[in-house]
Structure 1
Amino acid sequence: MLFTLKKVIGGMMLPLPLLLLLMALALLMLWLTRFQKTAKTVMTAAWLMLLLLSLQPVADGLLRPIEDKYPTWQGKKKVDYIVVLGGGYTWDPNWAPSSNLINNSLPRLNEGIRLWLANPGSKMIFTGAPAKTNPVSTAEAGARVAESLGVPRSAIITLDSPKDTEEEAAAVKQAIGNAPFLLVTSASHLPRAMIFFEHAGLHPLPAPANQLAVDAPLNPWERAIPSPVWLMHSDRVGYETLGRLWQWLKGSSGEPGQE
């Protein structure tokens, strides 16, 4: 119940639903109350915020400091395990396997396979519980896609019980102890994930995937025209900011290794 409540409240506080709620409030005030000036102010502010968060320079300017904390893993240190954290997924057996990994999940898996190939003899670990209406877990969906791309099942471990990053850290600790491993997750999620894993007594090597904030040149119109692509980048900033706030409330707010 607490997990579901956390997800619902957190989801409603992300940029798009929050700004739509403010616009709806402004419309109600315009039609049903005498607070016309206040309603116009709320509507204008919400519209302007939605516009700004949908522009590439603003969205990526907010996201880049979060993503840049850890560079892409190019290290030579041999590891025994590649831990790929779960993300969005579904499971439709009629689809191409990789189509079942939504948003951030497929880039995480791709980076995990790249690192697995660079570490012969290592095992891939996929984490994540099943969604309430799906008989296939997040971990199992990742494992099946990895198999379809050539990773043998004998090289895959699934941890099907964790529902969030904190539980994933505890499950990995129980499964492999203090063995060296690379921690693969989205670049925006990795700073928060490292805190959870360090607080679990582990020493992960950070391996970011799914970088979104663009530094390379773009066409001028791509920077100037609002787009749902850039709004999604702002959404990641909101999601991780709320996640860090939740860590702080639970007492795990510092950098890895700090209380």
Structure 2
Amino acid sequence: MLFTLKKFLGGLMLPLPFLLLVIGLGVMLVWFSRWQKTGKTCITFGWLVLLLLSLQPVADGLLKPIEAKYPTWRGTQPVKYIVVLGGGYTWNDAWAPSSNLINNSLPRLNEGIRLWQANPGAKLIFTGAAAKTNPVSTAEAGARVAESLGVPRSEIITLNDPKDTEEEAAAVKRAIGDAPFLLVTSASHLPRAMIFFQHAGLHPLPAPANQMAIESPLNPWERIIPSPVWLMHSDRVGYETLGRIWQWLKGSSDQPGEQ
């Protein structure tokens, strides 16, 4: 119940739903109250912030400092395990296997397989519980896609119980103890994940995937036209900021913005 409540309230505080609530409040005040000026202020504020967060320079300017904490893993230290954290997924047998990994999950899996290929003999570990209405777990979905891409099932371990990053850290600790491992997750999520894993007494090697903040050249119009792509980047900033605050409140980090 607490997990569901956390996800629901946290979802409402992300940029798009929060700003829609602010704009909606403004509309209600304009149409159904005497607070015309307050209503117009809410609408103007919500629209302006939504516009700014939908622009590439703003969105990626906010996201880049989070993603830049750890560089792409190009080290040569041998590892026995590569842990790929779960993300968005579904499972539909009629789809191509990789289509079942939504948003951040497929880039994480791709990076996990790349690192597995660079570490012969290592095991590939997928984590994540099943969604309430899905009989296939996040971990199992990742394993099936990896298998479809040529990873033998004998080289895959699934941890099907953890529902969030903190539980994933505990599950990995139980599964492999103090063995060295690469921790693969989205670049924006990795700083928070590292805190959870270190707090669990583990020593993960950070291996970011799914970097989104763009510094390389873009067409000029892509930088000045609002897009849901850039709004999604702003959403990641909001999600990770809320996650760090929750992490701090639970006592897993020393301060809200700790990375």
- For Structure 1 versus Structure 2, the TM-score category normalised by the shorter chain is over 0.9
Amino acid at match of 1:197: F
- Aligned partner of 1:254 in structure 2 is 254
Residue 178 of structure 1 is matched in structure 2 by 178
1:184–1:207 Cα contact (<8 Å) kept: yes
**1:143 partner amino acid:** A
Q: In angstroms, what is the RMSD of aligned CA positions?
A: 0.9
Which segments of 5 or more consecutive residues in structure 1 lack a partner in the other structure?
none
Aligned equivalent of 2:227: 227
- Under a length normalisation based on structure 1, what TM-score does the superposition of the two structures give? 0.98
What is the aligned partner in structure 2 of residue 146 from structure 1?
146
Distance 1:118 1:131 in 2: 32
- Quote how far apart the aligned CAs of 1:68 are: 0.1
* Shift of residue 253, structure 1, vs aligned partner: 1.9
Q: Distance in 2 between matches of 1:227 and 1:31?
A: 29
Whole-angstrom CA distance in 2 between matches of 1:183 and 1:38:
48
**2:254 corresponds to 1:238:** no
Q: Which residue of 1 aligns with 2:25?
A: 25
Could you tell me which residue of structure 2 aligns to residue 47 of structure 1? 47
Q: Name the aligned partner's letter for residue 81 of structure 1.
A: Y
Aligned to 2:10: 10
Whether the 8 Å contact between 1:195 and 1:254 is mirrored in structure 2 is no
Map of 2:191 onto structure 1: 191
Letter aligned with residue 123 of structure 2: K
Aligned residue type for 1:28: M
Superposed displacement of residue 161, structure 1? 0.2
TM-score, with structure 2 as normaliser? 0.98
* 1:138-191 per-position Cα deviation (integer Å, ceiling 9, x unaligned): 000000000000000000000000000000000000000000000000000000
Task: Give me the whole-angstrom Cα distance separating, in 1, the residues matched to 2:227 and 2:254.
Answer: 34
Shift of 1:254: 3.2
Distance 2:189 2:28 in 1: 37
Alignment of 1:36-75 (within 5 A): 36-75=36-75
In structure 2, what is the equivalent of residue 85 of structure 1? Answer: 85
Which residue number corresponds to residue 207 of structure 1?
A: 207
Task: String of CA shifts for 1:174-231, please: whole Å, max 9, x gaps.
Answer: 0000000000000000000000000000000000000000010111000000000000
Q: Report the alpha carbon displacement of residue 252 of structure 1 after superposing the two structures with TM.
A: 1.2
Q: Deviations over 1:29-62 (max 9, x none)?
A: 0010000011101100100000000000000000
Moved runs in structure 1, 4+ residues, more than 3 A?
none
The percent of aligned pairs where both chains have the same amino acid is 80
| AA in 2 matched with 1:146 | A
Partner SS state of residue 125, structure 2: strand
* Partner in structure 2 of residue 167 of structure 1: 167
Q: Distance in 1 between matches of 2:252 and 2:164?
A: 15
Task: Name the SS for the 1:121 alignment partner.
Answer: coil
